[in-house]
């Protein structure tokens, strides 16, 4: 117990991976959420009214950096002199603040840098704006950021408010338990307390499991880690990407089971600029083909195995 309390103090200071990855289910002001959980014992309806993986088809070959089409949103970004990326600062390996340099870095940040490179010819022409995970949709909508890359699941409810890029990473929800636990999956945790971030779809999904684990919320997944280390909850459940970061902070924890949800990550952008979504998709298509996606994976996630094939692009027009 003493070891766990010590680790809890470290986690409270670092709070890495605190932002929810499978996303916020909190409604926008004035709009009910299709995925909001009515209560821990209920199951939120899933909005499957669209093809969430399918995005806008690229308009053609990418223009040369510095030569953005006149009147396009890319030309506006170029004139401003920087791309504004919305992301978190505490999602280890995807977008977390390096304690030595103070810079936010990771897989998601590199996705943003690749867009900046396509516009400017320079990946450093980027401003990183740290946003709350429950502000990702509204930040893309109101134009306070150009693009959100923040372990954000593309789903039909969100497509109503923002455009998503094609899928750049496939994640899935798993469970983290004590290294001494005999549980092999979340379905072995019936009646046990399983933590997820308040308002996250991870929280919603726990309540849907037939074994009836008890969903417990905390403000963020870093708070869940502290609760786990203080023996207030038995497990944590969210996307495998977040759990890897949490497990890296606690030698007495392990991630178990196969994914029981699909969490396709897309970058979110305002619906006001569909040409920008098409441009981003052209960048992603080029980077899948030329090996940039693979090298980005190997840089940040290579310790966990060989790079898989990047998600296949799907288009809706």
Q: What is the pTM of this model?
A: 0.80
| Separation between Cα atoms, residue 199 and residue 37, nearest integer Å | 8
Cβ neighbours of residue 249 under 8 Å, at least 6 residues apart? Answer: 7, 10, 11, 14, 16, 17, 92, 225
Of 41, 5, 2, nearest in space to 225 by CA: 5
Per-residue model confidence (pLDDT) at position 15: 40
Q: Is the pLDDT of residue 233 over 90?
A: yes
Q: What is the mean pLDDT of the chain?
A: 86
**Least confident among 30-44, 63-77, 112-126, 209-223:** 30-44
R_g of the chain computed on alpha carbons = 19
| Residue 96: partners with Cβ closer than 8 Å, 6 or more residues away | 16, 17, 88, 89, 90, 104, 105, 106, 245
- Number of residues that this document lists for the chain: 317
CB 282 within 8 A of CB 166: no
User: What is d(CA 171, CA 189) in angstroms, rounded to the nearest whole number?
Assistant: 22
Q: Is it the case that residue 74 has pLDDT exceeding 80?
A: yes
Q: Which of 32-36, 163-167, 311-315 has the lowest mean pLDDT?
A: 32-36
Query: What is the per-residue pLDDT across 90-135, written as a single tens digit (0 to 9) for each?
Result: 788 899 999 999 999 999 999 999 999 999 999 999 999 999 877 8
Q: What does the pLDDT look like over 145-196, one tens digit per residue?
A: 999 999 898 999 999 999 999 999 999 999 999 999 999 999 999 999 999 9
Residues of the chain with CATH 3.40.190.10: 2-15+171-256, 61-170+264-306
According to CATH, the topology of domain 61-170+264-306 is D-Maltodextrin-Binding Protein; domain 2 (3.40.190)
Topology, domain 2-15+171-256: D-Maltodextrin-Binding Protein; domain 2 (3.40.190)
């Amino acid at each position: 117990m003493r070891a766990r309390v010590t680790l809890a103090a470290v986690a409270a200071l670092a709070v890495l991976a605190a932002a929810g990855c499978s996303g916020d289910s909190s409604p926008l002001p004035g709009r009910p959420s299709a995925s909001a959980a009515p209560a821990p014992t209920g199951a939120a309806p899933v909005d499957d009214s669209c093809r969430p993986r399918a995005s806008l088809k690229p308009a053609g070959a990418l223009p040369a950096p510095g030569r953005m089409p006149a009147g396009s949103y890319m030309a506006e970004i170029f004139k401003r002199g920087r791309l504004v990326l919305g992301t978190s600062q505490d999602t280890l390996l995807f977008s977390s603040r390096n304690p030595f340099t103070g810079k936010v870095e990771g897989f998601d940040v590199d996705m943003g840098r690749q867009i900046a490179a396509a516009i400017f010819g320079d990946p450093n022409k980027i401003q990183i704006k740290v946003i709350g995970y429950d502000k990702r949709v509204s930040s893309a909508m109101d134009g306070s950021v150009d693009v959100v890359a923040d372990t954000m699941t593309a789903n039909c409810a969100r497509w109503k408010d923002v455009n998503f890029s094609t899928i750049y990473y496939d994640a899935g929800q798993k469970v983290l338990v004590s290294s001494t636990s005999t549980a092999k999956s979340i379905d072995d945790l019936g009646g046990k307390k399983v933590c997820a971030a308040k308002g996250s779809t991870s929280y919603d999904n726990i309540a849907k499991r037939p074994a009836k684990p008890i969903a417990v919320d905390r403000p963020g997944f870093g708070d869940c880690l502290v609760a786990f280390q203080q023996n207030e909850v038995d497990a944590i459940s969210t996307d495998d990407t977040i759990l890897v970061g949490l497990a890296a902070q606690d030698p007495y924890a392990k991630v178990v089971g196969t994914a029981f949800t699909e969490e396709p990550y897309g970058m979110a952008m305002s619906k006001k600029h569909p040409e920008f979504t098409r441009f981003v998709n052209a960048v992603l298509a080029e980077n899948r083909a030329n090996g940039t996606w693979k090298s980005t994976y190997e840089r940040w996630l290579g310790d966990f195995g060989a790079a898989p094939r990047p998600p296949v692009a799907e288009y809706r027009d």
